[in-house]
Amino acid sequence: MSKKKIIIISRIILPAQNPRAYRATELAKELARQGHKVILYAVLGKYNYSAFEVEHQVKVKNIGSMLFATYNSDEKIRNNLIDKILNKLLNRIIEYPDIELVFRIHRIIMLEKHVDIIISIASPFPIHWGCALSKSINKKTFPKIWIADCGDPYMGNHFIKHPFYFKYLEKWFCRMTDHIVVPFEGAIEGYYSEFRNKIRVIPQGFRFDNIRLCLSALKNDVPTFAYAGVFYQGIRNPTPFLDYISTLNKRFKFVVYTKNVGFIEPYIKVLGNKIEIRNYVPREELLYELSKMDFLLNFENSTNIHSPSKLIDYAMVKKPILNVPVNDLPVSTFNEFLEGDYRNQFIVHNIEQYNITNVARQFSALKS
């Protein structure tokens, strides 16, 4: 396979703990490992990438100091009173503050020469719009292949309703790009039918050969289970499950890695030491901690066009998974799990498809 010059553009990369940051960072590292010349752009903040560049042979460049955007890859968030006011007034109507990325991305592409592939990572979708703007203005010098990678749909997102006029931007970038990449089959339904011939399914990818797991014959004193990720009202809502376990006169330990503590706080007093809230940690550390659990929880989304990438992490640590549907609390299965009976566990099939080696090859093999 011929070696290519590849640009990847994402709003954030490591050390940010975010599925899109993982996507961009892992893809850049693996494409470089496979011999391609890779340049990774993001809003960097103050993190020092010198060691990362040397270790992974990836050139990291800054999208630039943003005037409006308030979130950097170092996870330093600016959120003063003016930011709050502008975000409240403008976020929904013009995608503020991320709309600034449209013009930043155009400038980046103008500066880079002789690029074979550009991979734009959304969300936020203004990154795709910036690529579309650049291609519209300078089609002759634009990279040979443009891949628009989408974690979730935009206008077809059931969780976030955007004003109708954004459909024109959605259709614009879909016309201009060569490929739209989504992480699983169900997401295809979230895009306009006239562009579905451009959609390619390439799942989230991670490196499998450097995972550190707790391999000792660990036996917890009480049944111990965990959930890692965000919660959403009416979408990925833990309230029915928390209501149920609050009534149990059984010993257990529920460990929750989340920033959405508002969902958990009403149950802290009643559950006491049966629940433990932990902040996000780097993914490598998280996998090690999850491997200490007896089983893991997955709260289903309320639609088929979204799929949590945490299921990949869960499968990689080789622990039983209890799937919790939106409107059907699996009481009997949960009670089985508490007794160590995992026969009704959720199975993640074909885990090798998530190996970053295979994922990166699928990206680099796409043709114009």
Residue with tokens 């004193």: 221
> Distance between CA 338 and CA 334 in Å, rounded?
6
Name the residue ranges covered by the structural domains of the chain: 5-202, 224-351
Please tell me the predicted confidence (pLDDT) of residue 320.
93
Q: Would you say residue 308 has pLDDT above 70?
A: no
What are 350-361's pLDDT values in tens digits? 888 889 999 999
Q: Would you state the structure tokens that stand for residue 57, as one six-digit string? A: 């042979």
Among 3.40.50.2300, 1.10.150.670, 3.40.50.2000, 3.40.50.11540, name the CATH number for the domain at 224-351.
Answer: 3.40.50.2000
Statement: residue 302 has pLDDT above 60: no
Tell me the mean pLDDT in the region 214-242. Answer: 82
Residues paired with residue 295 on neighbouring β-strands, in sequence order: 225
Task: Classify 5-202 by CATH class.
Answer: alpha beta
Identify the CA nearest to 334 among candidates 342, 119, 326: 342
Cβ atoms of residues 67 and 100 within 8 Å: yes
The per-residue pLDDT for 76 is: 76
Contact residues for 317 (Cβ-Cβ < 8 A; gap 6+): 211, 213, 287, 290, 291, 296
Structure tokens at 281: 């940690």
pTM: 0.82
DSSP-derived pairing of the beta strands 145-150 and 179-182: parallel
Structural contact between residues 180 and 191, judged by C-beta atoms closer than 8 angstroms: yes
Residue-averaged pLDDT of the chain: 88
Q: Do domains 5-202 and 224-351 have the same CATH topology?
A: yes
333: confidence class by pLDDT, cuts 50, 70, 90: very high
Query: Binning pLDDT at 50, 70 and 90, where does residue 305 land?
Result: very low
Sheet holding 321-324, edge to edge: 275-278, 253-257, 224-228, 295-299, 321-324
Instruction: Give the residue-averaged pLDDT of 185-212.
Output: 88
Average pLDDT over residues 321-349: 89
- 285: pLDDT strictly greater than 50: yes
Question: What's the rounded Cα separation, in Å, for the pair 148 and 171?
Answer: 13
The whole-number pLDDT of residue 193 equals 92
The structure tokens 């974690």 sit at 151
Q: Which pLDDT tens digit goes with each residue over 105-121?
A: 988 898 888 999 999 99
* pLDDT above 70: percentage of residues in the chain: 96
Q: pLDDT tens digit string along 19-78?
A: 899 899 999 999 999 999 999 999 998 899 999 999 999 999 999 877 776 678 887 777
pLDDT at position 306 = 45
